[in-house]
Chain A
Amino acid sequence: MYIVLMYDIMMDEKGAKVQRNAFKICKRYLTHIQKSVFEGNLSELNLMKLKKELNLYIRDEKDSFIIFKSRDEKWLTKEFLGKKDNKTSNFF
């Protein structure tokens, strides 16, 4: 399953902690492509694991996470305006 995840975290007193942890968790499963945006291919199981880990930190009334799902990467075209990058490449 192809996933784009993005979040908004309210930066109040506890915000920094939530943000720090959310970032660390997300980048273990997905590629960090922009400030608070991640993308990648995940299995159903891995997505559940990711959500479970995130739920430990998300504050229901303050933070918002959005997950866009697509069955396959091929059903999605990615277009760049401005700088192109190849952060999702498996070659380094």
Chain B
Amino acid sequence: MGETFYIFKDGELRRKDNNIIIESLEGEKKNLKAEVAEEIYLFGEISMNTKLLNYLSQLKIILHVFNYYGFYSGSFYPRESNVSGYLLVNQVRKYDNSEERLRIAKEILKAASYNIYRNLRYYNGRGTDLANPMREIQSLTNRLDLCTSISELMGTEGNIRKTYYSSWNLIFKEELFDKRVKRPPDNMVNSLLSFTNSLIYTTVLSEIYKTQLNPTISFLHQPGAKRFSLCLDIAEIFKPLIGERMIFSLINKNQITEDDFDRDSNCLYLKDSAKRTILMEYDKRLKRTILHRDLGREVSYKYLIRLECYKLIKDIIGEKEYSGFKIWW
């Protein structure tokens, strides 16, 4: 697995000695090992030139850019080198066939809601009474099977998420979270959710890049213009496992408190030090490994995301029916 670099300082990123080097405004330098780097996350104000972008593209390194406030702005997505026309044609066909599309979308949501259920079950076993939301989520999950259209699925998913979010205060043992608000998030938990979701989104994008899948054609979400909606689909499955578990632990261990946010902005903006804490934790989680049942070897959480892409590919080319990733441990 390649390495991921996170840059917080302001400075200049450039190509030097056939390597990538970052030099901060204070003159500090760091080598980003070009041969092993896979992704670079930029949180500071960085200047760079096309010479660097060309080099990144040559090495297939993805650059994710976050703006001053820590919101995801976009990625430098190097020229696709893993392309397959055959797969693309079939991916579009799958999307276009409403029955098939519904089946895949259902599978994604079933996996996502199962993972949500598992999160609740975990905290239920640790002295928080979550029996009611658990039961509700289970019955809503069963209802997914009966849905006959994508919009119906989305509606049920919304209900699952609503029930899920309403139980968060029990997990935090504090009144921190009322309801999910986006654009802009209005309190600490909403801001954290938005931030971690954008991280997961970028990780999924990086993993899709390594496969032949086309990131713009999705099944659950509407494949709109201007965004990689397949990332949203796959991220749905991993949000509970990677993002939300991390939020619970960050808050319950007091690693992140309201002091880490800019209060004047209604807790909208994360302080730099907090972003760092979250990313370190996030990075650690992506590297965490589990023994894969089918593969019989240790795989990291990050690799699980890629495996999900491979499963989708297998379904698309008609080799094996897709079944979403469900936490099994």
Contact = CB atoms under 8 A, between A and B. Distances in A.
A49 interface: yes
B33 A27 contact: yes
B18 A92 contact: no
Interface string A35-71: 0000011100010011000000000000000000000
A42 B35 CA distance: 9
A28 B280 contact: no
Contacts of B9: 92
Contacts of B6: 90-92
Interface string B130-155: 00000000000000000000000000
Interface string A80-92: 0000000000111
Contact-size category for A: 10 to 19
A89 B5 CA distance: 9
A24 interface: yes
Nearest to B4: A90
Chain B interface helix/strand/loop/mixed: mixed
Contacts of A91: 5-6, 8, 276, 279-280
A29 B33 contact: yes
Contacts of A46: 35-36
B30 interface: yes
A42 B280 contact: no
A32 B36 CA distance: 14
B67 interface: no
B329 to A, nearest CB: 20
* Residue of A27, A49, A90 most packed against chain B (CB within 10 A): A90
A24 B33 CA distance: 11
B3 A90 contact: yes
Nearest to B18: A28
A33 to B, nearest CB: 11
A40 B7 CA distance: 19
Contacts of A49: 35
B6 to A, nearest CB: 5
A51 B24 CA distance: 31
A18 to B, nearest CB: 15
Interface in B1-51: 3-9, 17-19, 22, 24, 30-31, 33-36
B3 A92 contact: no
Given A91-B276, A91-B279, A91-B280, A28 B33 contact: yes
A90 B31 contact: no
By Cβ-Cβ distance, the 4 closest A-B pairs, closest first, are A24-B17, A28-B35, A92-B30, A29-B35
